[in-house]
């Protein structure tokens, strides 16, 4: 053990070393945004004792033999870095001039070709450079923890929170400007994993060719054509730029009542636990060209270039979606804040601008057959100023008519589930919709993957808990953090794909327009308003698909100007209002384009057909822009927070208790919307064989159509399940107008209506519209070629009715009886005063069980047969599933929380009652009248219940060497164990 003097000496040495480390690596933690650029003295100090004289390196003329210097500026002015290339072997040298050594840089790395996501930035990073001996280090500054306090606080923070070296590269010589010269192709190709993550590993660097090299005063654009590890040729583009400082930009504090992406840091110069966090909203530096004018053009507009790859037929709608937002900026006195310019390959207009170049904002179009749209941005990591942004659209959502809607069912089943629920599902795969809705052959693999992941992924892999803040990855929240605020995998495109499949199926059933291959471009069938005839876009009338595209673009533009999702915005109008002259063609039918707004299809003959899609940004959008960009006091803007049209809840609220903070729902009365979805599903199912499948079509189209209706059906159930145990949430602060309480439990009768809807549409055989005739046509096409996915190749021509329906019903049981829903129901019993009505755990269990086992309510009065059983095959599966769930619920260790024991007691009580109801059917004279299927089913149920009731749970088995594990034993075994103890 160290004595006290030794410890003091070590502490003193640590302080000295810490101060040295702070001086070398933690500059940014002690600087304000205006001080971030290093002075010449600081640069000299960094190079200091570690630098090498020119004599210790080869001569630059020898190293640069056969290289050509890159000059990209028209006047030949100096560039940010000096670049030399040698095309014959793909070599590239770069000199970092001494004056640029301490500069902060952004690098954006992009796979520009040879990928489904070509053009989509794979990562952004923030760094500075430091010479050490014969190496150049790339260092990422610490930005999350800073100090604006006294000198002692700054010194302490600088000692503890240091910068990070992320890469280094050998210095090959010293350049003409006196700066280090490095092998850039070695750094950017061979070391591509540093900037591109897994996508940059395995490049065949010896086969790399230089695709592009441009050097400008504020940025360099460098690209290489190189085979990846599989041999596929890819273009890897790096855009490296300086970060502008002293622009006059003033950060604006964020507020949880309005949804902006944020740049956050912890200020340890402040002592308050809450005050130490500083949160700036992400926004552009927009100023009036003439501040004296009430309405002025901007000093510098936000300009989006529409890439030449965007089809001409869609460009007017792309422009419309971008320019919607100008109305919001006009409210704060800026006219034409956002401009749209077209890149044109035929005329050469703007073809000198690269989408990967950080100086330009591009809207790109990817033909990759994937339904996605994203709007990432590059943000100053110290202030939140948006520096540039891009929008990436894919064409998959337009081709989504043949979407296999069943692939979306697990997503719909998990909608609204919390990280707690996902962790619980990992421990209980039999309850997991991702398992139950998967093809039988894939379930074992899914379970094994879940088991292998347990203990590694935080919160069972919830997308919000397992993200890379700095890399644009494949999870919804990847990139939502430092060093650059990026919003990546926005599921708006995926949702739009699902909605398009539903809508186009509806229009085809009505005969409103035909498939492209049938040659009817205008459509003259029932239901299409004559005034809406016009051009067709890929076989779809422009009056339908155009506004949907504009809405999608507007959603992504919203992200690029700082706004987050608003999933409560779709609940401000009723369906009657939406489908009325009050809104149609006049006002958008939800509060925000930042929601996942559905296609509006009206089946009610007493209402007119409203707009199919949003026709503008909503009132919330204008209010949010006013808060973020106003030149007046933003606090005054927040005084309107309680206005119904400004309702706001975002991504992290979707796994909370508010049923209106929900993707894929619609209207102020979602129960009415859910009923409309069921009406649509029923309407389409009844017309699958006659109207949907046309002469000459494969009958496999009927199966695809039925799967689409199943998606509508399941979405309606999922929407309603969120209302059980729900509470309405508002983000108001004390003193806000309206004096609204933050939590209001959903009315008990509304919860009962939602529960009744779920039961009627999930547990009744008739709800699924499956007839003997329809089942004979739900087949698949078999082709063994690249056009057919493996899942379809292995699919049986017979639609797996029992497995598929049971999978849906099992998933619905999980929606109703997962840990979070049960806890919310139980807690609401306490929150609601005892003299007021409330939905209880007891009522929830009774209501579900009475429906599932209603066949036990009366004795059989007639004789049943195997062909006409007392309990149908679908109902037997349902009852067996429920019984297993009920047995699981009798185990207090199944759930954690105060509701677990009351739930276990209730479940045990229900098992006893159910046993009494089953016995007369299997032991009495009634068994002679029951069909063999129902008798065997109930006999097995009786045995399972008796075994469960005979079981005893023994806790704290570490007393007998069990290591603290909870053990479930039958009664006799448990008694023997007690006797041994």
DSSP letters, 449-499, are HHHHHTTTSGGGG-TTTS--SSB--SSTTTTBSSSSB-----THHHHHHHH
What tokens appear for 174 in the block? 């010293």
Which of 503-507, 600-604, 727-731, 940-944 bottoms out in mean pLDDT, i.e. has the lowest?
503-507
Whether pLDDT at 459 is above 90? no
pLDDT of residue 454: 63
What tokens appear for 411 in the block? 């997503």
What is the number of alpha carbons within 13 Å of residue 85 lying toward its C-beta? Answer: 17
The C-alpha atoms of residue 882 and residue 598 are separated, in whole angstroms, by: 33
Contact call for residues 708 and 807 (beta carbons, < 8 A): no
Torsion of CA 769, 771, 774, 776, to 10 degrees: 140
pLDDT of residue 761: 97
- DSSP for 109-175, written as a single string: EEEEESSTTTTSEEEEEEEEEEEETTEEEEEEPP-SEE--S-HHHHHHHHHHS--EEEEEEEEEEE-
Whether pLDDT at 78 is above 80? yes
Contact call for residues 25 and 129 (beta carbons, < 8 A): no
Contact call for residues 386 and 692 (beta carbons, < 8 A): no
pLDDT of residue 390: 86
Whether pLDDT at 43 is above 60? no
Query: Can you tell me the mean pLDDT for 553-578?
Result: 94
Q: How many residues does the chain have?
A: 981
pLDDT in tens, 187-242: 888 887 777 766 777 788 889 999 989 998 888 999 999 998 888 898 888 889 88
Where is 729: in which H helix or E strand? Answer: strand 727-729
- Which distant-in-sequence residues (6+ apart) come within 8 Å of 967 by Cβ? 953, 954, 957
Using a pLDDT cut of 70, give the percent of the chain over it: 80
| Helix ranges (DSSP H) in 659-699 | 670-685
The C-alpha atoms of residue 471 and residue 192 are separated, in whole angstroms, by: 13
pLDDT of residue 653: 93
Contact call for residues 490 and 555 (beta carbons, < 8 A): yes
The C-alpha atoms of residue 672 and residue 604 are separated, in whole angstroms, by: 11
Whether pLDDT at 254 is above 50? yes
pLDDT in tens, 344-369: 989 999 998 887 777 899 998 876 65
pLDDT of residue 250: 94
Contact call for residues 856 and 871 (beta carbons, < 8 A): no
The C-alpha atoms of residue 633 and residue 643 are separated, in whole angstroms, by: 19
pLDDT of residue 353: 86
Whether pLDDT at 697 is above 60? yes
Whether pLDDT at 839 is above 60? yes
Report helix, strand and coil shares of the chain as percent, to nearest 5. 40, 15, 40
pLDDT in tens, 738-750: 999 999 999 999 9
Query: Can you tell me the mean pLDDT for 305-328?
Result: 93
Highest mean pLDDT among 51-55, 303-307, 487-491: 303-307
Contact call for residues 378 and 482 (beta carbons, < 8 A): no
pLDDT of residue 79: 87
The three-class DSSP label of residue 958 is helix
- Which distant-in-sequence residues (6+ apart) come within 8 Å of 773 by Cβ? 689
Distances 598 to 497, 501, 712, 757 between C-alpha atoms, Å:
10, 12, 12, 21
Q: What's the DSSP call for residue 39?
A: P
Whether pLDDT at 604 is above 80? yes
Three-state secondary structure of 544-577: HHHHHHHHHHHHHHHHHCCECCCCCHHHCCCHHH
Highest mean pLDDT among 49-53, 407-411, 676-680: 676-680
Q: How would residue 13 be classed by pLDDT, with cut points 50, 70 and 90?
A: very low
The C-alpha atoms of residue 263 and residue 377 are separated, in whole angstroms, by: 12
pLDDT in tens, 176-187: 999 999 999 988
Whether pLDDT at 602 is above 50? yes
Looking at per-residue pLDDT, the higher value among 157 and 936 belongs to 936
pLDDT of residue 54: 55
pLDDT of residue 115: 61
- Which residues make beta-bridge pairs with 125? 107
Distances 71 to 79, 145, 217, 354 between C-alpha atoms, Å:
8, 40, 11, 17
Whether pLDDT at 557 is above 90? yes
What tokens appear for 85 in the block? 């290339």
Contact call for residues 528 and 543 (beta carbons, < 8 A): no
Q: How would residue 534 be classed by pLDDT, with cut points 50, 70 and 90?
A: low
The C-alpha atoms of residue 755 and residue 587 are separated, in whole angstroms, by: 33
Looking at per-residue pLDDT, the higher value among 514 and 41 belongs to 514
Which of 9-23, 50-64, 383-397 bottoms out in mean pLDDT, i.e. has the lowest?
9-23
The C-alpha atoms of residue 216 and residue 78 are separated, in whole angstroms, by: 8
**Phi, psi of 645, rounded to the nearest 5 degrees:** -70, -10
Looking at per-residue pLDDT, the higher value among 27 and 464 belongs to 464
Which of 402-406, 622-626, 765-769 bottoms out in mean pLDDT, i.e. has the lowest?
402-406
The three-class DSSP label of residue 385 is strand
What tokens appear for 634 in the block? 């933003």
Highest mean pLDDT among 65-79, 151-165, 263-277, 731-745: 731-745
Nearest of 309, 322, 402, 303 to residue 360 by alpha carbon: 303
Query: Can you tell me the mean pLDDT for 855-878?
Result: 91
- DSSP for 5-17, written as a single string: HHHHHHHHHHHHH
Contact call for residues 939 and 915 (beta carbons, < 8 A): no
Please state, rounded to an integer, the average pLDDT across all residues of the chain.
82
Q: How would residue 18 be classed by pLDDT, with cut points 50, 70 and 90?
A: very low
Whether pLDDT at 113 is above 60? yes
pLDDT of residue 685: 95
Strand pairing category for 219-227 and 233-242: antiparallel
Highest mean pLDDT among 63-77, 109-123, 540-554, 678-692: 678-692
pLDDT of residue 22: 36
Query: Can you tell me the mean pLDDT for 637-648?
Result: 96
Which of 496-505, 517-526, 825-834 bottoms out in mean pLDDT, i.e. has the lowest?
517-526
- DSSP for 733-795, written as a single string: -TT-TT---SEEEPPHHHHHHHHHHHHHHHS-GGGG---HHHHTT-------STTS-HHHHSS
Contact call for residues 28 and 141 (beta carbons, < 8 A): yes
pLDDT of residue 440: 80
pLDDT in tens, 761-804: 999 999 999 999 999 999 988 877 766 666 666 778 888 999 99
- Which distant-in-sequence residues (6+ apart) come within 8 Å of 776 by Cβ? none
Angle between helix 932-950 and 873-889 (nearest 10): 0
pLDDT of residue 16: 33
Instruction: Compute how many other C-beta atoms are within 10 angstroms of the C-beta atom of residue 76.
Output: 8
């Amino acid at each position: 053990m160290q004595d006290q003097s030794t410890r003091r000496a070590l502490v003193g040495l640590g302080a000295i070393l810490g101060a040295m480390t702070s001086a070398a690596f933690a500059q940014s933690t002690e600087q304000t945004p205006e001080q971030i650029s290093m002075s010449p003295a600081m640069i000299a100090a960094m190079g200091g004792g570690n630098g090498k004289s020119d004599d210790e390196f080869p001569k630059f003329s020898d190293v640069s033999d056969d290289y050509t210097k890159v000059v990209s500026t028209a006047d030949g002015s100096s560039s940010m870095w000096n670049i030399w290339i040698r095309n014959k072997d793909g070599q590239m040298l770069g000199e970092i001039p001494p004056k640029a050594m301490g500069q902060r840089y952004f690098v954006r790395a992009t796979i520009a070709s040879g990928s489904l996501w070509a053009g989509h930035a794979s990562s952004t990073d923030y760094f500075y450079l430091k010479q050490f001996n014969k190496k150049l280090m790339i260092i990422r500054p610490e930005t999350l923890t800073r100090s604006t306090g006294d000198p002692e606080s700054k010194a302490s923070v600088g000692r503890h929170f240091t910068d990070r070296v992320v890469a280094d590269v050998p210095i090959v010589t010293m350049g003409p400007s006196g700066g280090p010269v490095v092998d850039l192709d070695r750094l950017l190709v061979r070391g591509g994993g540093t900037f591109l993550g897994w996508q940059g590993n395995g490049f065949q660097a010896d086969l790399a060719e230089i695709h592009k090299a441009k050097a400008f005063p504020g940025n360099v654009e460098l690209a290489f054509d190189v085979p990846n590890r599989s041999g596929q040729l890819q273009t890897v583009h790096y855009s490296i730029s300086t970060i502008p400082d002293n622009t006059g930009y003033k950060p604006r504090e964020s507020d949880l009542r309005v949804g902006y992406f944020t740049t956050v840091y912890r200020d340890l110069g402040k002592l308050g636990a809450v005050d130490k966090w500083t949160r700036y909203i992400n926004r552009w530096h927009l100023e009036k060209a003439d501040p004296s004018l009430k309405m002025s053009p901007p000093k510098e507009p936000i300009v989006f270039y529409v890439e030449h790859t965007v089809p001409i037929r869609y460009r007017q709608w792309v422009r419309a979606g971008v320019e919607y937002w100008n109305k919001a900026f006009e409210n704060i006195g800026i006219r034409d804040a956002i401009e749209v310019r077209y890149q044109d390959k035929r005329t050469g207009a703007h073809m000198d601008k690269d989408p990967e170049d950080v100086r330009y904002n591009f809207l790109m179009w990817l033909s990759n057959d994937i339904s996605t749209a994203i709007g990432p941005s590059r943000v100053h990591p110290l202030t939140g100023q948006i520096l540039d942004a891009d929008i990436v659209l894919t064409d998959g959502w337009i081709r989504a008519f043949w979407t296999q809607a069943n692939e979306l069912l697990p997503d719909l089943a998990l909608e609204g589930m919390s990280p707690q629920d996902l962790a619980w599902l990992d421990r209980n795969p039999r309850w997991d919709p991702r398992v139950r809705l998967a093809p039988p052959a894939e379930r074992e693999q899914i379970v094994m993957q879940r088991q292998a992941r347990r203990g590694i992924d935080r919160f069972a892999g919830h997308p919000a808990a397992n993200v890379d803040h700095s890399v644009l990855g494949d999870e919804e929240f990847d990139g939502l953090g430092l060093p650059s605020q990026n919003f990546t995998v926005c599921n708006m495109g995926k949702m739009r794909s699902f909605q398009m499949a539903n809508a186009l199926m509806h229009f085809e059933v009505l005969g409103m327009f035909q498939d492209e291959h049938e040659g009817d471009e205008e459509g003259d069938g029932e239901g299409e308003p004559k005034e809406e005839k016009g051009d067709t876009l890929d076989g779809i009338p422009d009056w339908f698909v155009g506004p949907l595209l504009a809405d999608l673009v507007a959603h992504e533009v919203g992200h690029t100007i700082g706004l987050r999702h608003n999933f409560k915005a779709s609940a401000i109008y009723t369906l009657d209002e939406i489908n009325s002259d009050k809104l149609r063609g006049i006002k958008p039918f939800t509060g925000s384009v930042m929601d996942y707004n559905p296609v509006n299809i009206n089946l009610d003959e007493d209402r007119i057909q409203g707009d199919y899609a949003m026709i503008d940004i909503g009132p919330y959008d204008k209010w949010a822009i006013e808060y973020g960009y106003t030149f007046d006091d933003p606090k005054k803007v927040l005084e309107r927070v309680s206005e119904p049209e400004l309702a706001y809840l975002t991504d992290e609220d979707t796994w909370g208790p508010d049923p209106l903070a929900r993707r894929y729902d619609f209207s102020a009365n979602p129960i009415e919307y859910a009923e409309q979805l069921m009406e649509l599903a029923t309407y389409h199912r009844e017309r699958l064989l006659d109207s949907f499948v046309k002469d000459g079509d494969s009958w496999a189209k009927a199966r695809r159509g039925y799967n689409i209706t199943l998606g509508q059906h399941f979405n309606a159930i999922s929407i309603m399940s969120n209302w059980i145990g729900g509470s309405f949430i508002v983000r108001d602060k004390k003193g806000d107008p309206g004096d609204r309480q933050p939590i209001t439990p959903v009315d008990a009768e509304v919860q009962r209506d939602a529960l009744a809807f779920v039961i009627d549409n999930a547990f009744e055989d008739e709800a699924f519209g499956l007839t003997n005739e329809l089942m004979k046509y739900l087949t698949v096409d078999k082709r063994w070629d690249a056009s057919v996915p493996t899942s379809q190749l292995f699919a049986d021509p017979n639609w797996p009715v029992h497995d598929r329906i049971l999978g849906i019903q099992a998933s619905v049981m999980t929606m109703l009886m997962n840990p979070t829903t049960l806890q919310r129901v139980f807690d609401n019993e306490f929150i609601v005063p005892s003299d007021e009505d409330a939905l209880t755990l007891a009522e929830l269990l009774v209501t579900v069980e009475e429906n599932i086992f209603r066949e036990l309510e009366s004795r059989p009065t007639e004789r049943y047969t195997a062909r006409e059983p007392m309990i149908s095959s679908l109902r037997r599966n349902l009852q067996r599933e429920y019984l297993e769930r009920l047995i699981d619920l009798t185990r207090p260790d199944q759930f954690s929380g105060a509701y677990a024991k009351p739930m276990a007691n209730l479940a045990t009580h229900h098992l006893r009652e159910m046993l009494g109801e089953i016995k007369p059917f299997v032991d009495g004279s009634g068994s002679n009248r029951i069909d063999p299927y129902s008798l065997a089913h109930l006999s097995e149920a009786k045995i399972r219940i008796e075994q469960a009731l005979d079981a005893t749970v023994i806790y704290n088995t570490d007393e007998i060497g069990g290591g603290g594990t909870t053990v479930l034993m039958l009664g006799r075994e448990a008694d023997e164990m007690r006797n041994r103890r």
